[in-house]
């Protein structure tokens, strides 16, 4: 098993298999994955076991915010810490790019994911009624403040002003 690595367009077929395995018909499509990976603010991270993509995180960073769009681990590979590794890598990348907070949505019944997110410091923010279909279910919106963002143009201005 390798560590968490950036994914590219050539990894989209493997991402599609992972998304379908984890989210069924609600997973991202080929076009959506390609758009996310090539978007200026998009990022895909993955964990490979030989030739098999066993987990991935898809996020977008629009400073000062970031959003985790998807965190997926193959069902047979769960409970081995891969979700924590992916989430940690996503948080680190968001911080490096200057984000000061991260948002996500999770099915209100997905207690394993909610526990993972709460353990990483995410707090419930709101509920989106009927957000998911197949089956229809509410989404819990969660947010984590990122304590140490890398200084970017906004942070640089604040730091410079506070020193003056």
> What is the DSSP code string of 7-27?
--GGGHHHHHHHHHHHHGGGS
Tokens standing for residue 23: 């989210």
Say whether 117 is catalytic.
yes
Pick the catalytic residue from 19, 93, 117, 132: 117
Rounded CA-CA distance 118/110 in Å is 12
Tokens standing for residue 91: 């948080």
Pick the catalytic residue from 19, 93, 105, 132: 105
DSSP state, residue 80: S
DSSP state, residue 81: S
Say whether 105 is catalytic.
yes
Q: Active-site residues: which are they? A: 105, 117
């Amino acid at each position: 098993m390798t560590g968490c690595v950036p994914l590219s367009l050539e990894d989209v077929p493997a991402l599609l298999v992972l998304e379908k395995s984890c989210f069924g018909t609600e997973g991202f499509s080929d076009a959506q994955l390609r758009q996310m990976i090539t978007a200026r603010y998009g990022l895909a991270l993955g964990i490979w076991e030989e030739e098999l993509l066993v987990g991935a995180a898809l996020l977008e960073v629009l400073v000062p915010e970031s959003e985790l769009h998807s965190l997926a681990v193959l069902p047979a590979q769960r409970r081995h810490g891969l979700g924590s590794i992916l989430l940690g890598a996503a948080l680190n990348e968001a911080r490096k790019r200057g984000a000061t907070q991260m948002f996500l949505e999770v099915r209100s019944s997905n207690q394993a994911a909610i526990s993972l997110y709460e353990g990483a410091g995410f707090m419930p923010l709101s509920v989106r009624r009927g957000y998911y279909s197949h089956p229809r279910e509410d989404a819990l919106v969660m947010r984590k403040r990122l304590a140490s963002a890398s200084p970017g143009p906004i942070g640089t201005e604040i730091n410079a002003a506070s020193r003056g």
